[in-house]
Structure 1
Amino acid sequence: MGFGVLFTQGTISGDPHLVGQEILEQAAAADRLGFDAALTTEHKYSPEYFGSPLHLAYAIAARTERVRVGTSIAIAPLYNPVELAQDAAMLDQLSGGRLFLGLGAGYLEEDFTTVGVPFAERAGRMDEGVRVIREAWTRERFSFRGEHYSFTDVSVIPKPRRPGTAIHLGAWTPGGLRRAARLGDGWISNALMSADTMAGMAAAYRAEARRLGRPSRVTAVRFCWPCRSREQGVRDFGETALAMIRTLWEYGAIGDMPGVSSAADITLEDAVRDRMLFGTPDEIAASVEGFRAKAGVDDFLLIFRHPTGPALKPVLDAMELFAAEIAGRA
């Protein structure tokens, strides 16, 4: 994967049926325009996200032919890991081997109370869940005994098309980075960490993976808005970009903004300086190269549309501009 698209709409975006149809239209455009993936994410309780990422990924798979499909990320501790392994494997089979499975431990307590899973158990459930998925995908039958999960002589049918199907783990804490190196095949950043923060985390992740003799791959999630001029970009994208970064700061997803004591302190310039891909095609191509040089980023997952906008037509235009004038040279 080089450049994929990640969808973050929810009920705040409008009628769920219409929003879902617009996500499918964006996915079809990603497939047609040459993007490498069209992925979903989740929060269980939030109106800004849908809470059924694999279900939506199935629909995307049915509307596309070549893009990778799946999650970045699904909150693994909220699921029975055998069911998660089976549902993801079925998506891989139906899509012809296009699964991208990105998992995270979660960071919002509300996601856990919504489904009745103890928030304090998330790290242990994450570790065991990934191990269960590995067993389920690579062994005909398996048993597992852990603190949180226990299975005796079970089998997941079908298996993924490739026994070594990768699992990518999202993280932005030292423990999460060590887990990504120990159990994952790749690390996924959060959407709004600065370039310096990402570089430090990527270095720590890769060093731990090398120590363990494990593979490593860095995927950067970035909000993205290509435009013909900065003025046009601010007009079309600025309001929703600022709303999103302030929302994620309030969620606790951004911890590297010294001097910011409230969401109201954050400016659009704070967001676009080195936390988003924003600007003309030349500016974004330079930003992409900067992330690759500084943080060793292998792949980018691009968010063109926030839960509150922009509208579908400008989003499709922005995707087309990125595909036509940035992807081929970045």
Structure 2
Amino acid sequence: MEIGMFHEFQCPHGYSEARAFAESFEQVDAAERWGLDCMWLAELHIAPTRSVLSAPLAIASAIAARTTRMKIGIAVQVLPLCHPLRIAEEAATVDHVSHGRLIFGVGRSGFPRTYMAYGVPYAESQARFAETLEIIRRAWTLPSFSYSGTFHSFSDVHLVPKPYQKPHPPIRVAATSPDTYAMVGALGFPIFVAVRLGVLSELVPLIAEYHAAWRAAGHPGKGEVYLRVPVYVAPTEAQARDEPRASIMQFYQEMAAIIAQSATQAGTRAIENRAGRAAHLKSVSYEEAMREKVIVGTPDQVAARLQALRAELGLDGILAEMNCGALIPHAQVLRSLELLCKEVMPQVKG
């Protein structure tokens, strides 16, 4: 089971941007030292009181230069906002700098406000995502290629550099709405799943749809499933319960407001039920979050919960959000990360 950390390079109120980068890199260095499998980088824009991680490939290159062992994942590159050739070049470059440690996670993001800032219609996000991904794959694997699509057209392009990994870095795709699980399965990519808008039990039938579509498309083996989930580990059960409470609850309140706002914007679909999910998030209790949305506890409790989820969901790995809500002090995040690496990982690996 792959154990990774999902990082947003948090910049909560009162932090300078320099402090946000410094503390985040200190956590990256500790993860490398303590044996974490992978550091996963978000892509977040126009969020000054949340994150400074707007350029994940640039950060990935910096991490590649200061580490030698840990894999570096993008979770996720928001493809509809990208120029496909530029991203293909930059990701291939990071793959070389890291000597083949890049995992290229992609998605389209569930929040229209970033699309508005970039001047890209959210209603085009699915079509732009599919076109951009196809162009990147061709650019990585063909000596030269031409392409004529709805949003991009290229003639006799020779991309340089080609990726270090052959034929290209592993690609994983995020499911942002219920109808995308089967789509990703049909395409034959490993999948990222998450429960920010729902609960863990809701993932069971959706993952079943993903696997069914995988088999129906004739792909060999089993589609891999990776869960992004808030995780907090502490020496005692009381500390694990109490220390992240304010941060986790603030996160869900802020998420409820963002989702409620996005529910009325063009391009969102009724199938996502954003208004209903926002109302539920606004009223969610901490006890419900602990039971159905997050994993908190002592090392033994967290290991047992992860083993149970692996059996229930067929997980191949997790992306642990170690500071969901960005209010957990830096020293406590480091302690939680150390316990995850040194005491939880040995119990769940293999």
CA distance in 2, matches of 1:205, 1:262: 26
Aligned to 1:62: 65
1:174-223 deviation line (CA, Å, top 9, x unaligned): 43223322335210012534221122221111111111123611010011
Aligned to 1:168: 172
CA distance in 1, matches of 2:149, 2:282: 44
What's the RMSD between the two structures over aligned residues? 2.2
The aligned runs of 1:303-314 (5 Å cut-off) are: 303-314=321-332
Q: CA deviation at 1:22?
A: 1.2
Counterpart secondary structure, 1:326: helix
Counterpart secondary structure, 1:12: coil
Aligned to 2:217: 212
Aligned to 1:35: 36
CA distance in 2, matches of 1:36, 1:188: 16
**Which one of 187, 190, 200 corresponds to residue 205 of structure 2?**
200
Sort the Cα spacing of 1:224 and 1:141 in 2 relative to 1 into closer, same or farther, 3 A. Answer: same
Aligned to 2:342: 324
CA distance in 2, matches of 1:37, 1:24: 14
TM-score by length of 2: 0.88
Sort the Cα spacing of 1:256 and 1:111 in 2 relative to 1 into closer, same or farther, 3 A. Answer: closer
Sort the Cα spacing of 1:145 and 1:247 in 2 relative to 1 into closer, same or farther, 3 A. Answer: same
CA distance in 2, matches of 1:251, 1:159: 38
How many residues were matched structurally? 330
Decide whether the 8 Å contact of 2:40 with 2:75 is kept in 1. yes
Q: Percent identity?
A: 28
Counterpart secondary structure, 1:189: strand
Counterpart secondary structure, 2:345: coil
Sort the Cα spacing of 1:307 and 1:174 in 2 relative to 1 into closer, same or farther, 3 A. Answer: closer
1:89 maps to 2:104: no
Q: CA deviation at 1:42?
A: 1.8
Aligned to 2:154: 151
Aligned to 1:232: 239
Counterpart secondary structure, 1:284: helix
Aligned to 1:250: 257
What amino acid is aligned across from residue 66 of structure 1 in structure 2? Answer: R
Unpaired stretches in structure 1, ≥5 consecutive residues:
none
Counterpart secondary structure, 2:328: coil
Q: CA deviation at 1:299?
A: 0.7
Decide whether the 8 Å contact of 2:107 with 2:176 is kept in 1. no
TM-score by length of 1: 0.93
CA distance in 1, matches of 2:57, 2:329: 24
What amino acid is aligned across from residue 218 of structure 2 in structure 1? Answer: G
Unpaired stretches in structure 2, ≥5 consecutive residues:
261-271
CA distance in 2, matches of 1:273, 1:318: 19
1:229-248 deviation line (CA, Å, top 9, x unaligned): 23212332111011112222
Decide whether the 8 Å contact of 2:256 with 2:278 is kept in 1. no
Aligned to 1:12: 12
